[in-house]
Structure 1
Amino acid sequence: MKRGSDLYEDFCVSCHMSYGQGIPNVYPPLAKSDFLMQNRKASIKAIKYGQTGEIVVNNKPYIGYMAPPGLSDDEIADVMNYITNTWGNKNTKMITEEEVSLVEK
């Protein structure tokens, strides 16, 4: 969790903000995010390969581009475990490096 928090601060906070609230109509929230919690593989894929096009988060559409931050599979697992267990999110099954490695473009 500590490393995930540190990676979040280094790579994610400028768009998704300190408390995961995102920027309305620009960058989706991660805090209490239905998309994040219900779309585990798609969320991993977005971090691993980037995200383009529309996604709907908490009933609001977001259309944009997220560049892949260039993290390794173990770093992606750490960030995912941090964001899925912070800001009102609760993940009962931790994400592993192996799970991330199986997500393909």
Structure 2
Amino acid sequence: MTPSDFIGLVGVIACLVAYAGLQVGRLRHDGLRYLGLNILSPACLLISLMHDFNLAAVITQVLWLGLSVIGLVRALYARGRKTSRTTAKCAENGT
């Protein structure tokens, strides 16, 4: 097994763990673990595809990675807003 094959397998496992975790309710669609797995997976697969190029697979993985990064940014933004609202409420209540 070549290093690129191994990295590709890590990507496949990350993708399947994320999907399975979401389906069985162990991961949330906006959770950092789920989003992290969805970023790790296409990143690993893109590295693997540098060894055995396939245009359709590269396009799929680039789009998957881009959408996952958008999801991560949105999740982090939402968490920041939630934290600032909680801080503001605590300041109002004097707690």
Larger Rg: 2
With normalisation by structure 2, the TM-score equals: 0.31
Length-normalised TM-score, structure 1: 0.29
- Which structure's residues are more often helix, by fraction? 2
The structure with the largest strand share of the pair is 1
